[in-house]
Structure 1
Amino acid sequence: MGLSPYGTTADFTREMGEVFEKAGNTDNPLLAVDIALLLMEEAIEAFGYADDSDGDIGVMAEEALELVGEIATESRDLDAEQRQRVFEKLMERSDGEIFEGWDEFHIGLLRICAGFADVEALRNKLRAKIEQLICQNAGNEQKNYSTEGMLRIWFEMIQQYGTSEEAEQFVVENLRFSFFREWHIKKFMQEGNFQKVVDLALEGEAQDQALRGLVFQWKKLRYEAYKRLSLKEEQKTLAEELLLDGDFGYYDELKQLAGGDTAALYHHLKQEFQAKKDWQSKGLYLRLIEAENDLDELLAYVKEYPGEIERYADRLAKRFEIEVIALYQQRIRLEASVDSKRKEYQHVCGIIRRYQKIAGSARQRQIIEELSDLYSGKPAFLDELSQIHDRSN
């Protein structure tokens, strides 16, 4: 089927909305569940052939899932037989091929089924279904998100209906998933067993070394444990790693750990950032020299990136007035040389107006006259320049 045009998506969601109202108004819970599930399935299917640039179909699918959940919650007031029928219908539809590739909706539906877990027989059926699905996912790394989501549902049932020992064992068996490792680490953190936190975090770093975000998360938890253990040297090493990896908040931590030797720390970190060539390191280097108000380094940075002159002109002007004026003029001339539309001319003139606050009115008039002579063949530009001159007078 071809892709439905953008304009037809609104019609589709409007029609679906009318059906949505029927599901919410019926007193028959089984019929309401059927309608809500149909809405969700239709919306998921529509992802494959309709243009959902405005997100209407996605919203409809999410709202349909929420409606299923509301109906399931209201079914608590039904008798046991009717309630079981609602549960069985949800379980049956959870097997639909429509969910292939849409794990968030599949997991959402299974989570709704967990609302019936207060009945032991239904709880066991759901657990068996989850076990079956996890076995099917085994060995498929692309299914880790789905597997983790289902394990979390299972874990929540154990927490509510099992023992604390069962919950603990379940977590230990599933530490390869970040949710369970984080849960375990935070449990030990609360208990004050900080060495165990360090051990679990290090295991996580080794296990997830290909996943930069997770490694960063485990390092931050390990750092907190070192802090609680007052392991200063370990803190220093790890805080620097975290800073170099992108979290500038650890600079303050490092300064506290450095005591009175902050100048040496600053010099060391400057060298570390300058040695790296990626954009993240450049951004961190800039934040570092800003934090220390290192005007020499800021001037060197602006000379390398003249487009940044306006950002730092006020800070640099008192000490480097001549250099700042020259860099401002360089920026104005460059912008003027590439602009060709009135809106772009207005942008240049905005820079010239701001330039006056740094360089004074005489220098501003001088650059205006220079540009007027140079671009005498651009009447729109001359018009914008004259307005600056008039305002200056």
Structure 2
Amino acid sequence: MDINNFEEYFDPVILERGKDYYYKNKVDHIIQDSNGEYKAVISGSDVYSVTARLNSELEIDELTCDCPYDWTDHCKHKAAILYKIRDLLGRNEAFIQKENPNDAPPNNGLQGILSTLDKDELIKIISDLSDQYPEIEKEIQFRYSVDENEISQCKTLVTECINKEKYKGFISWSKVGPAVKGAELALERAVQRLEGGFYSQAIGISLVVMPPVVKMIDFSDDSGYISPILNEATEIIIESAHKASELESEQRQEELFNEIIKEAKNRRYDGWSEWRHELLKAGAAFCGNKKVRNRLDKVIEQLLGKETPVNWNSSYEIEALKVLQFMLIERFDPAEMAQAFLESNIQFKTFREKAILRALEKEDFTKALQLCEDGIVLNSRLPGLVDMWKRYRYKTYEQMGDIDNQKVLARELLMNNNLDFYPIHKGLFPPAEWEREKESFLNELESKDFSSVYRHIIESESETSRILRYCQNHRIEIMNLYEHIIEHYPREVSELFRSYIEYLSKEAGDRRKYKGVCKVIRTYKKACGSESAKLLIDHLKSQYQRRPAFIEELNKIN
């Protein structure tokens, strides 16, 4: 992208927010160096550093920001600095000009056309379009009008957009985006209120967005729009609650807490508890007030009382609520209470992990190892958790400097398909000793049949004879591994390709599969040469004369 068309590469919502930052002069301390690099500080709810590098053609070679936003490729801060840079270039009469300004084509884009019109013409265009498309009028009114009943206005907008896209009580996947347009606009307003220091308004707007959007899950074919809306709403509520807990009166804090907790307790979140937990976290921001803290404790206990899992240890619901309780205890109660709570809930992954890390920090290796061993026994039917506790056990041995146990455990973890332990395991041995260990390990893997670990190691170690045997047992792998063995086994590689191609040809019965066969033949040609490929193609044409579509695809191979 270049500075003239960067808008095409941004999400429209993000672009609008970046433009808002630019117009509000939030791009501070912009500095340009001689290499076309611009650095700026952008201030909003927080302060972030943004860098953009342009080349001589005004193309953007580099664009970075240190904010945590990762939903799309580009954040609002990046958009803001690009608007600022384009403005600076325009002032210097370098905007949009390449080698020769006279060669630049006329700007026939939308912005170029609109820039030539006067105010009355623009008003007429917008009025005419609004008559034809009523949603344009609604969006303009929402964005630019001042409404004392802002929260009510947002609620109406969200609901109207959802109801408009319903057909027989259902919203199809292609209509989900337009259905949440109102929610997106409302959350834009909530962000503006948050950044402007109006925290109560930000919370209120976000809270009226959530109910209709959560309900929408039950009657729509979601295409990835709904969860981000709810995630953003809870993020705004949490951030606003923390700000409000520092600045609002005690009475207003209690009112905000009650509004948030009332929503969190609603039955609509019984199947979507992740957002309930986020709302409870927002409520926790006000727990410096003992009365509020007591209320939140009671709410959590009530929710815990509703949970009756068959397997207590694996209950996500209970663990998430217990973690919230622990957060409150750590924040407001003596350290010994937090430690006692942690130990009484050690059966949960989060608490066992915290206990292990605390033991390692204190260099209490005996306790760390015992916690790991107990976790392995407790979660014996959950391979992912077993591996996790083994990894912590390895970390403990590493901190102890116990090389012998590191070797044993690294091998065990590698055997269980933890490929990241291959270089770790190898690094524990001197070169000569590693050769013996590698041979022993590969022999053991062969006795248990081949595995992804085996494939990874023989490829990494260039074990050509073993790679050949592996391909002979897994013909499809010749496509990926031929380069490792073609020099040593050219005849065998050719035979494996031919065998695999002939098998695929026999099974193919439609054009899609014929194209798949031809893709393999092209790789065969690259590996074994044009002459070998030509002989095979001629053979296939002769064998499958009654498959004209296959012959047509074969003729396309160059």
CA distance in 2 between counterparts of 1:345 and 1:138 reads 55
CA displacement at 1:252 relative to structure 2: 3.7
Mapping of residues 103-182 of structure 1, within 5 Å: 103-137=273-307, 141=311, 144-182=315-353
Determine helix, strand or coil for the equivalent of 1:313: helix
Identity of aligned residues (%): 26
Deviation of 1:19 after TM superposition, in Å, equals: 4.9
Q: Report matched runs for 1:10-49 at 5 Å.
A: 10-20=177-187, 33-49=203-219
Change (3 A) 1:138 1:337: closer
Query: Please, which runs of 5 or more residues in structure 1 have no aligned partner?
Result: none
Structure 1 residues 24 and 288 mapped into 2: Cα distance closer, same or farther (>3 Å)?
Answer: closer
Q: Is the 8 A contact 2:459 2:484 kept in 1?
A: no
Q: Distance in 1 between matches of 2:556 and 2:417?
A: 45
After TM superposition, give the deviation of residue 343 of structure 1 in Å: 5.1
CA distance in 2, matches of 1:108, 1:19: 19
Which residue pairs with 2:355 in the alignment?
184
More deviation in 170-179 or 150-159?
150-159
Rounded to whole Å, the distance in 2 between the matches of 1:286 and 1:22 is 54
Query: Which runs of 5 or more residues in structure 2 are unaligned?
Result: 1-167
Quote the residue 1:6 is aligned against: 173
* Residue identity in the other structure for 1:182: E
Could you tell me the TM-score, scaled by structure 2's length? 0.62
Alpha-carbon spacing, 1:185–1:3, altered in 2? closer, same or farther (3 Å) = same
Give the conservation status (yes or no) of the 8 Å contact 2:537–2:554.
yes
Give the one of 99, 104, 108 matched to 2:269: 99
Q: Aligned to 1:153, what secondary structure does the other structure show?
A: helix
SS in 2 for 1:210: coil
Query: Cα–Cα, structure 1 residues 228 and 2, in superposed 2: closer, same or farther, change >3 Å?
Result: same
Moved more, 304-313 or 256-265: 256-265
- Report the Cα distance in structure 2 between the residues aligned to 1:307 and 1:45, rounded to whole angstroms: 47
| Greater fraction of residues in helix | 1
Matches for 1:82-97 after TM superposition, within 5 Å: 82-97=252-267
How far is 1:269 from its partner? 2.2
Is 305-314 or 260-269 further displaced after alignment?
A: 260-269
Aligned equivalent of 1:328, options 493, 497, 510: 497
Alpha-carbon separation, structure 2, partners of 1:315 and 1:232: 33
**2:475 alignment partner in structure 1:** 306
Asked if 2 retains the 8 angstrom alpha-carbon contact of 1:40 and 1:62, the reply is no
Tell me, yes or no, if the aligned pair for 1:317 and 1:358 is still in contact at 8 Å: yes
Q: Within 1, Cα distance between the matches of 2:507 and 2:382?
A: 43
1:312-337 deviations in whole A, cap 9, x for unaligned?
22221222121111112222323333
Match among 272, 278, 297 for residue 444 of structure 2:
272
Greater shift, 145-154 or 193-202, is seen at 145-154
1:25 to partner: Cα distance: 6.9
Q: 2:525 aligns with which of 346, 356, 359?
A: 356
Query: Which deviates the most, 318-327 or 88-97?
Result: 88-97
User: Is the 8 Å Cα contact of residues 189 and 197 (structure 1) preserved in structure 2?
Assistant: yes
User: Equivalent residue for 2:48?
Assistant: none
2:49 aligned residue:
none
Instruction: Compare relative contact order (CA 8 Å, sep 6+) and give the higher one, 1 or 2.
Output: 1
The structure that is strand-richer by fraction is 2
Measured in 1, the distance between the counterparts of 2:339 and 2:509 equals: 68
Instruction: Indicate yes or no: 2:402 matched with 1:231.
Output: yes
Q: 1:73 to 1:306 in 2, by over 3 A?
A: same
C-alpha spacing 1:349/1:246, structure 2 compared with 1 (3 Å) = closer
Contact 1:158 / 1:166 at 8 angstroms: preserved in 2?
Answer: yes
CA 1:257–1:9: 2 relative to 1, 3 Å: closer
Comparing 214-223 with 24-33, greater Cα deviation is found at 24-33
User: Do structure 1's residue 367 and structure 2's residue 539 form an aligned pair?
Assistant: no
Q: Could you report, residue by residue, the CA deviation over 1:40-61 in whole angstroms, capped at 9, with x for unpaired residues? A: 1222222122221x12222222
Distance of 1:330 and 1:139 partners within structure 2: 54
The residue identity in structure 1 corresponding to 2:275 is: F
